[in-house]
Structure 1
């Protein structure tokens, strides 16, 4: 997702591609069916799990996988997440500003914090805001 270069004049949810849709579907399945998702994780060999998460194919930490499974088994189902044009537009702006500057992190290269950036784009002040960034 960090490699997207799109015009900010287009509604961001309208430019989401198959990868973004697949990620949201995976997250929503885990939210709606946490015990089933835990069972899926338990059926995967730890080495396959590690290769999926780490470049170079090194096995992941089996204890981290066990912790994730345990948390999912105890989790009550949650409602699905939905794409949001305001959040997506703010994220695309952040990608463009970070890429140009070679910057990483939640704050913009000019020091603007992520919640300031989201609110500048119109996110509600009372909303609970969070950001997840992946580089690769």
Structure 2
């Protein structure tokens, strides 16, 4: 009985492995996911969840997350510390401390230096906005 369970788990693992390989090699090399510039303020409560959810969501769609710039308008809270720790685990995250006065200058500089054709700029104020952005990004497909 135990050997049957082990065989079934091995077959399941092999199927998942082959499915992932197929998806990786048969997707086109052009990723339609845009650069993402996220403007936040006082986001320490939910920014980690957002980055992790974004990474997981794009992985399940077979996409690699490219360049997520987080422009923080409130350098006074612990958002900077959280994002710097996240950028070690998720190399696609770049933290940009900013202010309300400099925000659009910083975004403009990012747009000028972007190497991708598309860039999505969003301002997230709370968890509801965050969920809407994740829902919107789920429509970008390879």
Range of TM-score over shorter length = under 0.3
Larger radius of gyration: 2
Structure with the largest fraction of strand: 2
Identify the structure with bigger relative contact order (alpha carbons < 8 Å, sequence gap 6+).
2
